[in-house]
A and B are shown apart, each in its own frame.
Chain A
Amino acid sequence: MNDIKAKLTEHIKANFPGAAEKDFKGENRIDFSIDKEFIPSVLTYLKNTAGFIHLSHITCVDWLEEGEFEMIFIIWSPTDKLKVFIRTRIDREKAVMPNIDMIWRQANTYEREFREMFGIQFIGLKGAKDFLLEDWEGPPPMRRDFDTAAYAKDAFFERPGREDALDVREEIIKRSREEIPGFAKKYSR
Chain B
Amino acid sequence: MREKATTLYLGPQHPGITGNMMIRLKVEGDTIVKATTEVGYLHRAFEKLQEQRNWLQSFTLMCRFCVPETDPMEESYARAVEAIEGREVPERAKYIRVMVLELARLASFMLWYGGQNGSLGLYTMGQWSVGDRNYILDLFEELTGGRVYHMYIWPGGVRRDLPKGFEKRVIKVLNYLEKRLDDYDDLMFDNAIFKKRTQGVGLVDKKTAIEHGVVGAVLRGCGIKSDIRIDDPYEIYDQLDFEVPTAEGGDIWARALVRRQEARQSIRIIRQVIDQMPGGAFYNQIPNPLKWTLPKGDAYVRTESVRGEIGLYLVSDGGNKPRRVHLRGAAYVHAVSLLEDVLIGENVADVSAIMNSLGTCPPEIER
Direct A–B contact in the complex, CB atoms closer than 8 angstroms: yes
**Which A positions have Cβ atoms within 8 angstroms of B?**
28-29, 53-57, 59-62, 72, 74, 76, 78, 81, 83, 85, 104-106, 108-109, 128, 130-134, 141-142, 144, 146, 148-149, 188-189
CB<8 Å pairs between A and B, sample of 25: A54-B210, A54-B213, A54-B215, A56-B213, A57-B328, A59-B313, A59-B324, A61-B315, A61-B324, A62-B324, A72-B313, A74-B300, A78-B226, A105-B212, A106-B212, A106-B213, A106-B332, A109-B332, A128-B38, A133-B40, A134-B40, A141-B48, A188-B289, A189-B287, A189-B289
Q: Which residues of B contact A59 (CB under 8 A)?
A: 313, 324, 326, 328
Given the complex of chains A and B, what is the CA–CA distance between A27 and B338 in angstroms?
32
B285 touches A189 (CB 8 A): yes
B39 touches A132 (CB 8 A): yes
Given the complex of chains A and B, what is the CA–CA distance between A133 and B38 in angstroms?
10
Leading 10 A-B pairs by shortest Cβ distance: A132-B40, A132-B43, A106-B333, A59-B326, A57-B311, A109-B336, A61-B324, A106-B213, A59-B313, A55-B213
Q: Which residues of A contact B3 (CB under 8 A)?
A: none
Q: Which residues of B contact A104 (CB under 8 A)?
A: 211-213
Given the complex of chains A and B, what is the CA–CA distance between A183 and B123 in angstroms?
56
Is B28 an interface residue when CB atoms closer than 8 A count as contact? no
Q: Which residues of B contact A132 (CB under 8 A)?
A: 39-40, 43, 366
Beyond A59-B324, A148-B48, whether A85 also contacts B300 by CB under 8 A is yes
Q: How far in angstroms is the closest Cβ of chain A from B228?
A: 10
Is B193 an interface residue when CB atoms closer than 8 A count as contact? no
Is B51 an interface residue when CB atoms closer than 8 A count as contact? yes
Q: How far in angstroms is the closest Cβ of chain B from A57?
A: 4
B51 touches A144 (CB 8 A): yes
Given the complex of chains A and B, what is the CA–CA distance between A134 and B332 in angstroms?
19
Beyond A109-B336, A130-B40, A188-B290, whether A83 also contacts B323 by CB under 8 A is no
Binary contact track B215-230/A, C-beta < 8 Å → 1, others 0: 1000000000010000
Given the complex of chains A and B, what is the CA–CA distance between A135 and B321 in angstroms?
30
Q: Which residues of A contact B300 (CB under 8 A)?
A: 29, 56-57, 74, 83, 85
B231 touches A81 (CB 8 A): yes
Is B304 an interface residue when CB atoms closer than 8 A count as contact? no
Beyond A62-B324, A104-B212, A188-B288, whether A148 also contacts B45 by CB under 8 A is yes
Q: How far in angstroms is the closest Cβ of chain A from B107?
A: 26
Given the complex of chains A and B, what is the CA–CA distance between A133 and B43 in angstroms?
8
Is B132 an interface residue when CB atoms closer than 8 A count as contact? no
Given the complex of chains A and B, what is the CA–CA distance between A109 and B52 in angstroms?
25
Is B309 an interface residue when CB atoms closer than 8 A count as contact? yes
Q: Which residues of A contact B302 (CB under 8 A)?
A: 56
Q: How far in angstroms is the closest Cβ of chain B from A128?
A: 8
Q: How far in angstroms is the closest Cβ of chain A from B7?
A: 15
Given the complex of chains A and B, what is the CA–CA distance between A130 and B40 in angstroms?
9
Q: How far in angstroms is the closest Cβ of chain A from B5?
A: 19
B210 touches A53 (CB 8 A): yes
Is B205 an interface residue when CB atoms closer than 8 A count as contact? no
Given the complex of chains A and B, what is the CA–CA distance between A189 and B56 in angstroms?
13
Is B167 an interface residue when CB atoms closer than 8 A count as contact? no
Given the complex of chains A and B, what is the CA–CA distance between A28 and B234 in angstroms?
12
Given the complex of chains A and B, what is the CA–CA distance between A148 and B288 in angstroms?
27
Given the complex of chains A and B, what is the CA–CA distance between A131 and B332 in angstroms?
12
Q: Which residues of B contact A76 (CB under 8 A)?
A: 232
Given the complex of chains A and B, what is the CA–CA distance between A83 and B300 in angstroms?
10
B52 touches A149 (CB 8 A): yes
Given the complex of chains A and B, what is the CA–CA distance between A59 and B301 in angstroms?
13
Q: Which residues of B contact A54 (CB under 8 A)?
A: 210, 213, 215
Given the complex of chains A and B, what is the CA–CA distance between A30 and B30 in angstroms?
49
- Given A28-B232, A57-B326, 4 additional A-B pairs, CB 8 A: A57-B300, A109-B337, A131-B39, A189-B286
Binary contact track B41-63/A, C-beta < 8 Å → 1, others 0: 00101011101100000000000
- Closest chain A residue, CB of each to CB of B333: A106
Q: Which residues of B contact A29 (CB under 8 A)?
A: 300
Given the complex of chains A and B, what is the CA–CA distance between A188 and B288 in angstroms?
6
Q: How far in angstroms is the closest Cβ of chain A from B281?
A: 15
Q: Which residues of A contact B226 (CB under 8 A)?
A: 78
Q: Which residues of B contact A133 (CB under 8 A)?
A: 40, 43
- Closest chain B residue, CB of each to CB of A131: B40
- Closest chain B residue, CB of each to CB of A54: B213
Given the complex of chains A and B, what is the CA–CA distance between A53 and B39 in angstroms?
27
- Closest chain B residue, CB of each to CB of A149: B52
A56 touches B40 (CB 8 A): no
Q: How far in angstroms is the closest Cβ of chain A from B17?
A: 17
B288 touches A109 (CB 8 A): no
A61 touches B323 (CB 8 A): yes
Binary contact track B126-156/A, C-beta < 8 Å → 1, others 0: 0000000000000000000000000000000
Interface residues of B in 267-325 (CB under 8 A from A): 285-290, 300, 302, 309, 311, 313, 315, 323-324
Given the complex of chains A and B, what is the CA–CA distance between A81 and B227 in angstroms?
12
Interface residue from B231, B287, B366 paired with A78 (Cβ < 8 Å): B231
Interface residue from A56, A130, A148 paired with B311 (Cβ < 8 Å): A56
Q: Which residues of A contact B333 (CB under 8 A)?
A: 106, 109
